[in-house]
Every structure is written in C-alpha cells, then in structure tokens.
A and B are shown apart, each in its own frame.
Chain A
C-alpha cells in the first residue's frame, strides 16, 4: 500500500471507532430495556430525536452548548421514558391478547406519534447547531512534524466520543456496584427470582425504561454537533440500535459496546470504499451475517471464553 492508501485506511478506522463509541451508547439503552423487559423499544430512535430537539432549541434560545444540554436531556428523557412505561406499556402488559408482540407494535405507535408531532411543530427542515468548534480538528503533522502520513481528528467527534465513554463507564459502575443496579440486573436475569428476593420488579422496569431513554437521549445530544437533525431521523437510529444489540448479543451490555464499535468501523469502511449511499446496506450485511454465522452475537464468544478457562 502506498502512504496515501494507508492514510485513507487509518483515517477511516479512526472515524469508525469514534462513530462506534456513539453507536455503543445508543445500543446500550436498547439492550438494557431488552434485557429487563424482554421487549424491543422501537421508539428508541424517536426518543433520541426528542433529545436532539431539546439540545437544538436550548442552543438556539440560550446558546447553550450541546455538551451541556446532555445534563438537561438526561433527566427529561428519563421522565419521558418513565411516563411511557407507566402509562402506555404497563397497561398493555396486563391485557391478554392473541399476539404476544403487542408491546412492540405499541412502541411503533409511540414512535410514529413522536416523529409526526416533531414534523408538525418543527417542520421537516434539516437543522444543525452551528457550534464554533465544528470544524476544529487536530492534525498529526502538528504533533509530529515530518510524519509520512497526515491524519486528522475532529474536535467535536472526539469530545462526543470521550463523553460517550465516560457515560458508559458511569453506567457500568451503576450496574455493577450500586444496589439499584444490582436489582436491575437481577430483574434481567430472572424476574420471578428477583421478586422472591424482594426486588420491586415493576419499579425496576419503570426505572430501566427511563434509564434506557436517558442513555439514548445523551447520545442524541452528543450527535447533534456532528450530525444534522430532522423529525424522521429516529427510524434510522432505532435500526442502528437494534443491529448493535444483535451484533453484541441480546441483552449483553459488554456485547453492545463491542458491537457498536464493530458496526461503526464497518460502516465507515463501506462509506469510504464502496460509497456513501451503501453505508446502510453495509450495516445490514453485518446484521444478516451475524444472524447466520454468530446467532448469539459477540456475547456468545465472550461467554465461551469465560467457561473455557
């Protein structure tokens, strides 16, 4: 490979990893909800869209930096998620119906309402937050004068990535070390046993849905400086979240992180070497390949290693 080709490859990989960190955050929210409630939240991307609008309007009216809006979007989305779970999903869990997938269809309905309301109120214009650091970047040649190749690292992308990693670490700490986190994990493993151990399972479900929503809300705020915003963007990110969780293994948090990074890299490579329009197809090729060759996702490999030892 010529230096130019190496440069393109490395640059693609960097972009992929940065993108993957954000995908991991989106996927984590979905995998948490999936693990605890055993349902797929198809309004996931729409919740992210709501968070992005929050960050956008805060920026427009108060000139609040999107990275500060993260701290506002997280509680707001938490309440939104709690409300959805309490008033819409819980009643459906109680009625018996022919189709067991009613909750999934319900979340589709919620997503439709959210994205259509956004279109009504905010018009379907493409919007973005013109932050002044949007075009700032670090270059390798600044650090290393006579390097043979030139790489750049976008400022906004790397800040988003770092915050995403920080939130992931906090989440891990919460799930692994606190009582509430342990209760949530117990509910995910076996809801009946958790009840016997004195865990308020209904409460855990509500909290988990809120937590999942706030994670994707944080991801939305991190995405807005580097992406653009329109009311129907949700569906695309719901699918990304789903592919990430399938890739990682259903309900596995570590898997979701690895899955997100793999997906980010793969998508970035497709976009560079095949064409921008094909990036979504690349995403789904990963998805189909995982279903055929590795149905348990990355989590199944991790598990095999652990038991093998």
Chain B
C-alpha cells in the first residue's frame, strides 16, 4: 500500500507538467522538488542519524561550484557537474566528517556551521579559481522551456527518495537510529559509530551536492553568498525538515512545499517582503515549541487532540 502511494505520486508528478503550467508555476514546482531533495538529504543525517548539521550549504555550494568550475575553467557542459559533484562532494564530506564528527550534538552542529562559513569565505577569496564575488554565470541556457529541468530534478528526487528509503529500511537505517538515540549504547553494542556517522554524512552530502549542481545548471548563476548562504540554504534546509517532519519519509516533501510557497507568498506581499526572515524565525519557534516533530511527525498527535475534542 505504502509503496503504491509513492508510485502514484511519482506518476502524478510526471503527468502534471503536461497540463501546461505557466513558466512561473513550473519554477515554483522545480524549487519545491529541489528543496525536497535537500530536505531528504538533511533528514537522513539529522533526522535519522541525529547529527544536526547547520552547514548543508557547504555541500550544496561545493556541488554548485563543481558544475560551475567545469563550465568556467574546462569549458565542459555544466551538466557533467551532476555526476562529478557526487565524487567531489563525497570526498569533501569525508574530510569535513573527519573533523566535525569528533564532536557530538550541538557541538557538531556548530562545527558544520563553521565549515559552511569557511567555505564561503574561501570561495570569496580564491578569486582565480571561483571568480570570487563576481560569481560564475552560464552564458547559454540548455533549454528555454522549464519542463526538461523539471524532469531532471524529478528524476533526482525520485532516486533520492528511493535510495534513502532503502537505506533506512535496511540494517544501516537501524544503526543510524541507534546512534541518534544513544551513541554510547550503540557503540557498546558493537556499532562502529564513527563509520556509520561518516556513511550518513557522505550520503547526505552527495544528494545535497547533486541538488547544488542542478541549481547551477538551472539558475545559470552562482556566487559565494548565494550557494554558501547560512540563512538561505543551511537554515532553510533545517526548516524544511523541522516543519515537515523529522525522521519521516514524506516530511521533507511536505516541508519543502510549505517553505517554498510561504517564501513566495511572503515575498510577493509588498510591505511584508523584507520581514520574511522574521516570519520564518517565528514559524521555526512555534513549530519547535508546539510541534517538535513537525507536521508529518505530529499528525498522530494532532489527530488525537481532534478526536479528544470530538468526544468531550
């Protein structure tokens, strides 16, 4: 039954663009799916393995710059960045993991945050390699139509969803959850926590990196402040998962829909546009206090409360 739901939704998403949406709506759909990919990737590391990362912009940015530098320096198509970013980002995440995974809990969170900032500053200063603040621009778009971008990101999302589901349902997934619940207990039961945390980080980073490479191809322009942004990438990745539902398969998808739509709606209201960070922050605070496991994770609780009200 559950398998059927995901197949059904995938089929629906394949058919949807054939209805002929406007370019703007397609753009929003593409962004929703891209954020769902990043959310799912974050969820694997943060939700299942319990390692809350504040630095997913680092992986997103490395992925985007892999594609961008391929185009800028080697004159290749930036689409080669999609497969190549997997290798580059996995390698980078091994190094980052070696340093950051020594820390636990909130300290890991802050260490990853620092990594994100280090990479941003480095990208700003290595002008010869990354063009610094000028950024990298792809001068010719592959397609004018958005539909092809839509199908590519949909394919990435489907692969991400399927892989993460397989991982979580396998023994590996149970190791991750064991590490999240109690790292010392997991270690005493013979789980090599360092190894599995690194595996979770690499997988999560690789998917985020692909999303970054896709972003480069789709938007056609990146600079360090866009792809290594703390608030616009790292924190939003956390929010997508927190709002949608921590450690659930569909949570990041729900979160991505809410966050992208919310951002679009808020930005379009004239006087509220500048305040979107405040509203995001308030939303985050409210979600954490009242629905700590997100909308998908809190559904049973909400249901129970509604039922109780009906009875009394």
Contacts and interface: CB of A to CB of B under 8 A. Distances in A.
Interface of A: 39-40, 42, 88, 91-92, 95-102, 104-106, 108-113, 115-117, 119-120, 235, 239, 242-243, 246, 250, 275, 277-278, 280-281, 284, 287-288, 291-292, 295
Contact of B281 (A39, A40, A91, A113): A113
Contact of A100 (B105, B117, B238): B105
A105 B238 contact: yes
B299 interface: no
Interface residues of B, number: 47
A61 to B, nearest CB: 25
Contact of A109 (B111, B275, B276, B288): B288
B128 to A, nearest CB: 14
A46 B109 CA distance: 18
Given A101-B52, A104-B109, A277-B121, A96 B292 contact: yes
A290 to B, nearest CB: 10
Contacts, number: 132
Contacts of A92: 288-289, 292
Given A40-B106, A100-B50, A105-B238, A91 B117 contact: no
A235 B230 contact: yes
B110 A99 contact: no
Contact of A116 (B54, B111, B114, B278): B278
A110 B230 CA distance: 15
Contact of B284 (A108, A115, A242, A288): A108
A188 to B, nearest CB: 16
B99 A113 contact: no
B285 interface: yes
A239 B117 contact: yes
B113 interface: yes
A279 B76 CA distance: 34
Interface string B242-256: 100011000000000
A105 B122 CA distance: 26
A97 B292 contact: yes
B235 interface: yes
Contacts of A246: 107, 110
Nearest to B110: A242
9 contacts: A40-B109, A88-B289, A95-B289, A99-B50, A106-B285, A113-B281, A113-B285, A246-B110, A284-B117
Contact of B278 (A112, A239, A275): A112
Contacts of A287: 111, 114
Interface in B169-199: 180
